[in-house]
Amino acid sequence: MNSSLKYHSIENFTTETGVVYDEIELSYELFGQELHTAPIVLVNHALTGNSDVASPHTGWWKGIVSPGNLIDTNTYTILAFNIPGNGYDQKPGNLIESYKDFTLRDVAKLFGLALLDLKVEKLHTVIGGSLGGGVSWELAVLFPDLATNLIAIGSDWKASDWILAHNKVQEQILLNSKKPVHDARMMAMLFYRTAGSFKEKFNRTVNENLGIPNVESWLLHHGFQLENRFHLQSYKLVNHLLSTLDITRERGAFKEVAKLIKANIIQIGIDSDFFFVAEENMETHEALNEIGIKNTYRELKSIHGHDGFLVEDAQLKELLKDIF
């Protein structure tokens, strides 16, 4: 059990689909300065991520969030929730069996309610990559006065047809494969990287011990790693949540909904992203400009595709240094 995890319960929560939960226990972690002593940055994790943003050895974003870094733990309080049901707290009772009860908007609402309970009324920034960027968009609409800056990296305000198609194939693998998490992860890695990234990394070399191409052994390794640390029910949940990303659902057209957002919006696209494609971000940027919403579009140049936001630390620091 992760001893650094803190817990907060939301009671009598009704999901968007109308299901009532008597209690939902959220887990979260704090890094940097003590809560309420410094500006607060909320980091929302990606699909198979977790709240361990900045631990010296295991923090998945320690190249960005650490002492003296872009999000400086000497300057800011960094808060990161786990998506409920992602299994990181290792409490079987907190896994969500009926995963289609929830939408990503529910997750954002839970995070926002927990922040209010923790007496957090203002965030310097809400930031997230991929699925975490989607949570950030939803938060900015649900709680317009909460964040000064909204930063979405390799993400968008909606799940495109391309994302929905990918997620449907993922769901079929998760429902039908003999090794569901393993095989779904292997397939997903093809969308998170690019042909150029694979060529640079492997260049048709062979794993002599296994007698197979290194790209195959790498994919098998990723499948094995996720299978060992991620629960099937959790993967079904987060894959479903990504499909529900849409800040306009039952609210109206994008330009009308976007007018609710008071945060300064910064989109970081990735020029080679094969998942959340940069063209969609540029369309959003143009739409926001047309209605006079303060926003910028910035772009990571990377051969590595969607995973560029986890690889290109130096570029990301340069693109966001004016915010932090």
Sheet containing strand 123-129, edge to edge, reads 6-14, 20-32, 77-81, 40-44, 123-129, 147-153, 264-270, 295-300
115-167 per-position pLDDT tens digit: 999 999 999 999 999 999 999 999 999 999 999 999 999 999 999 999 999 99
pTM here?
Answer: 0.96
Averaged over 84-109, what is the pLDDT?
96
pLDDT above 90 coverage of the chain, percent: 98
Decide if pLDDT at 2 tops 60.
no
Q: Is 60 exceeded by the pLDDT of residue 177?
A: yes
Take residue 234 and report the two structure tokens written for it.
């959790």
CB-based contact 8:117 (threshold 8 Å): yes
**Confidence band (pLDDT; 50, 70, 90) for 199?**
very high
- Average pLDDT of every residue of the chain: 97
Q: Give the model's pLDDT for residue 3.
A: 64
pLDDT digits over 209-268, tens only? 999 999 999 999 999 999 999 999 999 999 999 999 999 999 999 999 999 999 999 999
Confidence at residue 244, expressed as pLDDT on a 0 to 100 scale: 98
Domain boundaries, the chain: 6-159+246-320, 162-240
- Residue 1 clears pLDDT 60, i.e. is over it: no
Residue 95's pLDDT is: 94
- List the structure tokens of 165: 């198609």
CATH class of 162-240: mainly alpha
Can you tell me the mean pLDDT for 174-189?
98
Q: What percent of the chain has pLDDT over 70?
A: 99
Cα 9 to its chain centre, rounded Å, is 21
Over residues 71-99, mean pLDDT: 96
Mean local confidence (pLDDT), 81-97: 95
Distance separating alpha carbons of residues 215 and 206, to the nearest angstrom: 8
CATH 3.40.50.1820, applies to 6-159+246-320: yes
Distance CA 270, CA 300 (A): 5
